[in-house]
Amino acid sequence: MHHPNKTAHAVIESPEFKRLVSKRWSVSLLLTITILVIYIGFLLVVAFDKELLATKIGSYLPLALPIGFGIIVTAWLLTGIYVFWANNTYDTEVQEIKNKINAN
């Protein structure tokens, strides 16, 4: 049977495609784990060691404030890193594979 699934199978089994998928998940999972560790770590510190977050930096500012803002900003920066990677590396590779499929 000559059916588009045959090409789909060939593409999926190709080393380029496999590399693309595994690279995509390495980046995604690395970033996912980073944000989970940051947030869950923060919650655990809140639950177990409130004093640590109440530690003063300077004359009155507790550590909790810059950490809180820092997590918000970091979350945003991580999405930015992903967009940058995807727009530059991932999309280029996707285009290469697509060109190859069209050429066949």
Partner 1 sequence: MLTSSLLLQASALPAASTLGTANPVSIIMFFLFVLITLYITYWAAKKTKTGSEFYAAGRNISGFQNGLALAGDYMSAASFLGIAGMVATKGYDGLIYSIGFLVGWPLIMFLIAEPLRNLGKYTFADVVAYRLQQRPIRIVSSVGSLLTIAFYLIAQMVGAGGLIKTLFGLQYELAVVVVGCVMTAYVLFGGMLATTWVQIIKAVLLLSGATVLVILSLATFNFSPANLFQSVADKYGEAMLSPGGFITNPFDALSLGLALMLGTAGLPHILMRFYTVPDAKAARKSVFVATGFIGYFYILTFFIGFSAMVLVGKPIIEGIDKGGNMAALLLAEQTGGTAFLGFIAAVAFATILAVVAGLTLSGASSISHDLYVHVFQKGVSNEKGEMKVAKRATVALGILSIVLGLVFKGQNVAFMVGLAFSIAASANFPALLMSIIWKKFTTQGAVWSIATGATLSLVLIVLSPTIWVDILQNSEAIFPLKNPALVSMSAAFLTGIVVSLVNPEPEAAEKFESEKLRTYLGIGAE
Instruction: Using CB under 8 A, list all residues that contact partner 1.
Output: 4-5, 8-9, 11-12, 17, 20-21, 24-25, 27-29, 31-32, 35, 38-40, 42-44, 46-48, 50, 53-54, 60-65, 68-69, 71-73, 75-76, 78-80, 82-83, 86-87, 91, 94, 97-98, 101
Give least dist CB 77 to partner 1, A: 9
CA 12/CA 21 separation, integer angstroms: 9
Structure tokens belonging to residue 85: 């990677």
Give least dist CB 3 to partner 1, A: 10
Give least dist CB 104 to partner 1, A: 13
Exposed e or buried b for every residue in 26-37, given b needs 16+ CB within 10 A? ebeeeeeeeeee
Structure tokens belonging to residue 39: 């947030």
* Phi, psi (rounded to 5 degrees) for 57: -115, 130
